[in-house]
């Protein structure tokens, strides 16, 4: 056995980042219901997706929200934390401001809901999204989120 054998097989820094957007607008948070794959369909998440190689997380978020929802947005700031999705994939979440357009479920989702803080627990969130959703709702409820 060498010293290297004690290293974990997968270092956390190797994980591919999925960025989720907490889109905050007029006192509400946007929740999106996944339409695929079958094991995730029907669960609610923050719209977003995988950061591509060479792409910054905020650029990935703006791209994904344009593709999935048909809106122009701006990433405002990262919600502290990183939540494992499955081996090799980790969720980061940013608050996002709506610049132009009305979100539509164009891709990956079959329903959208704008939730007030009081309604935030009324949808079946993917479990790994819950801490970031709670933090986003806290920002909304305390009036420190723009939009
Ligand atoms: N988009 C998004 N994905 C999430 C969230 N929470 C969570 O566990 N996931 C999982 C679901 C998927 O397994 C994975 C993201 O995959 P995706 O299908 O949305 O990403 P993508 O659009 O870049 O997909 P693709 O290029 O591989 O088709 O992360 C979330 O809040 N938003």
Q: Which residue has the CA at smallest separation from atom 19 of ligand 1?
A: 49
Q: Which two tokens stand for residue 50?
A: 């995988």
Residue 90 covered by a domain: yes
* pLDDT tens digits for range 80-118: 999 999 999 999 999 999 999 999 999 999 999 999 999
Contact 24, 136 (CB under 8 A): yes
Residue 3 covered by a domain: no
Domain that holds residue 109: 14-141
Residues with CB under 6 A from ligand 1: 18, 20, 40, 45-46, 48-50, 85, 89, 91, 108, 126, 128-129
Q: Which two tokens stand for residue 80?
A: 């502290």
* pLDDT tens digits for range 50-69: 999 999 999 999 999 999 99
Q: Ligand 1 mean position to 34 CA, how many Å?
A: 9
Residue 6 covered by a domain: no
Within the chain, residue ranges assigned H as helices are 57-69, 130-141
Q: Which residue has the CA at smallest separation from atom 29 of ligand 1?
A: 18
Residue 7 covered by a domain: no
Closest CA relative to residue 103, chosen from 19, 26, 18: 26
Q: What percent of the chain has pLDDT over 90?
A: 87
Residue 102 covered by a domain: yes
Which atom number of ligand 1 is nearest to the Cα of residue 46?
31
Closest CA relative to residue 112, chosen from 55, 27, 41, 47: 47
Q: Could you tell me the CA-to-CA distances from 140 to 4, 6, 35, 60, 65 in Å, in that order?
A: 46, 44, 27, 23, 20
CATH of the domain at 83: 3.90.79.10
Q: Ligand 1 mean position to 29 CA, how many Å?
A: 18
- Res 35 pLDDT > 60: yes
Q: Which two tokens stand for residue 147?
A: 């939009």
The total of structural domains in the chain comes to 1
Residue 147 covered by a domain: no
- Residue pointed to by tokens 């709702």: 137
- Res 145 pLDDT > 50: yes
State how far the Cα of 65 lies from the Cα of 125, in Å rounded to an integer: 18
């Amino acid at each position: 056995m060498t010293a290297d054998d004690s290293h974990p097989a997968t270092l956390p820094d190797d994980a591919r980042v999925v960025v989720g957007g907490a889109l905050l607008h007029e006192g509400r948070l946007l929740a999106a219901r996944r339409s695929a794959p079958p094991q995730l369909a029907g669960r609610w998440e923050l719209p977003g997706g995988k950061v591509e190689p060479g792409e910054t997380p905020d650029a990935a978020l703006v791209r994904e929200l344009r593709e999935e929802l048909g809106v122009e947005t701006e990433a405002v700031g990262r919600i502290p934390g990183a939540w494992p999705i499955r081996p090799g994939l980790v969720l980061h979440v940013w608050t996002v401001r709506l610049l132009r357009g009305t979100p539509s479920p164009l891709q990956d989702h079959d329903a959208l809901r704008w939730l007030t803080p009081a309604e935030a627990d009324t949808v079946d969130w993917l479990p790994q999204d819950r801490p970031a959703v709670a933090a986003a709702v806290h920002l909304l409820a305390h009036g420190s989120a723009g939009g």
